[in-house]
């Protein structure tokens, strides 16, 4: 697939939008400690729950999800094909993981990835959210819920017969999520994950 200049601009905008760290902005506005230096050190919703409580965590969760939704939805409304939507979403996700504006120290990407897939292909997004909610309800471990959802994501895309490039983006996102959760995986294996 050939990428036009407008496609590349949307992809670049997706990365820049994803680079806005909701947790750090929320912490600054609410007068909370930098989440990169407190708790788990991760600028994400779960750590914001530890650092600032439920309100800060909820705002962070919503903001991180919207970082995935907004650039992909803008690309969709501009009539770009599904493959380009996937690349815009991947760029927003990478922006969250490696934010240009915050020294490339970002979060783990679960909420942003869910936002991306809800906006790009809502049946996939709903399947991921449903999986996350079910596992979280059964085991009360956020990281396990995220890992289970994204372990199943490639299977979901295959069952939904999505285009190969879209599947490749889903596999890439899932692999990066597992990489970002490697410490959580070690704790899960030792039975120490909270």
Helix (H) / strand (E) element for 105: namely none
Beta carbons within 10 angstroms of residue 84's beta carbon: 24
Helix (H) / strand (E) element for 76: namely helix 54-77
**What are 144-186's pLDDT values in tens digits?**
999 999 999 999 999 999 999 999 999 999 999 999 999 999 9
Query: What's the longest Cα–Cα distance across the chain?
Result: 49
Mean pLDDT (whole number) for 53-81 = 97
* Rounded (5°) CA angle 34-37-39: 100
At 1 the pLDDT is 73
Are 119 and 69 spatial neighbours (Cβ–Cβ below 8 Å)? yes
Kindly write down the DSSP assignment for every residue of 121-135, as one continuous string. Answer: -HHHHHHHHHHHHHH
pTM for the model stands at 0.95
Q: Rounded to whole angstroms, what are the CA distances from 4 to 7, 71, 129? A: 5, 17, 32
**Average pLDDT, rounded, for the chain:** 96
**What are 105-128's pLDDT values in tens digits?**
899 999 999 999 999 999 999 999
Mean pLDDT (whole number) for 65-89 = 97
Joined together, the tokens standing for residue 40 give: 């788990």
């Amino acid at each position: 697939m050939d990428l036009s200049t407008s496609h590349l601009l949307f992809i670049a905008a997706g990365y820049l939008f994803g680079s806005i760290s909701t947790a750090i902005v929320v912490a600054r506005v609410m007068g909370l400690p930098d989440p990169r230096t407190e708790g788990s050190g991760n600028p994400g919703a779960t750590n914001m729950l530890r650092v600032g409580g439920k309100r800060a965590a909820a705002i962070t969760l919503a903001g991180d999800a919207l970082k995935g939704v907004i650039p992909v939805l803008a690309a969709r409304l501009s009539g770009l094909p599904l493959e380009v939507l996937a690349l815009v979403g991947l760029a927003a996700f990478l922006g969250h993981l490696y934010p240009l504006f915050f020294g490339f120290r970002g979060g783990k990407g679960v909420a942003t990835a869910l936002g991306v897939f809800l906006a790009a292909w809502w049946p996939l997004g709903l399947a991921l959210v449903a999986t996350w909610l079910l596992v979280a309800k059964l085991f009360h471990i956020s990281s396990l819920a995220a890992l289970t959802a994204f372990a199943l994501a490639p299977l979901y895309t295959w069952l939904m017969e999505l285009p190969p490039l879209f599947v490749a983006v889903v596999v890439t996102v899932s692999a990066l999520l597992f990489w970002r959760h490697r410490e959580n995986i070690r704790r899960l294996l030792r039975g120490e994950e909270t």
